[in-house]
A and B are shown apart, each in its own frame.
Chain A
């Protein structure tokens, strides 16, 4: 299994500001993913963060709003830029340990963001 540390666990931010969320994994992983969970909703993938290349964003998410860094195989950051109340969500990072199919994904504890 993997131990994923996500920081901060929660934050309350003013609109127009930015917040950077960190995700640290206790082992080297190729694939890391960032999800958003809006209040009462399911998880939606924001982007896939691969080490050594640009993140791949899902439809509806853009790099200017959600820049991602992946400097090495154990760490990634997601920034939520120019925040508005609509960005209030739980943000979760996820990893898979194996590069084969049928492998489970592990999740961090999430960052609960409230924008006021």
Chain B
């Protein structure tokens, strides 16, 4: 198993701009999930995309998944200062224990007012 890799490690933008974060992984997956973490606290689930899905939307979030490239992206549109947080992708690997996730290193997003 292999944890995902996110890039960039840090992203700094102005309010109103879009933020794009990328995630790559190395194994076959059931799904890929994105989480947000504020100031080293608990993780908040943002969105889950299944391996047979290519794109998913939730509010200002858009997630894409390319299983041939083993990569995913998270787009946050019209960003707000409250979006400032760390964002992690996590993969549910095929054949792994149900519910067990492998996390990427995360992207620290800072949105300036």
Contacts and interface: CB of A to CB of B under 8 A. Distances in A.
A-B interaction:
yes
Interface of A: 4, 6, 31, 33, 35, 37, 41-45, 48, 56, 90, 92, 94-96, 99-110, 112
B42 A104 contact: no
Contact of A107 (B40, B42, B106): B42
B33 interface: yes
A106 B45 CA distance: 7
A31 B30 contact: no
Contact of A102 (B44, B48, B97): B48
A110 B92 contact: no
A43 B103 contact: yes
A90 B97 CA distance: 23
Contact of B99 (A4, A42, A94): A94
Contacts of B106: 42
A108 B80 CA distance: 25
A44 B105 CA distance: 10
B30 A95 contact: no
5 contacts: A41-B105, A44-B103, A90-B40, A96-B99, A109-B41
A102 to B, nearest CB: 5
Contact of B31 (A45, A101, A106, A107): A101
A24 B97 CA distance: 21
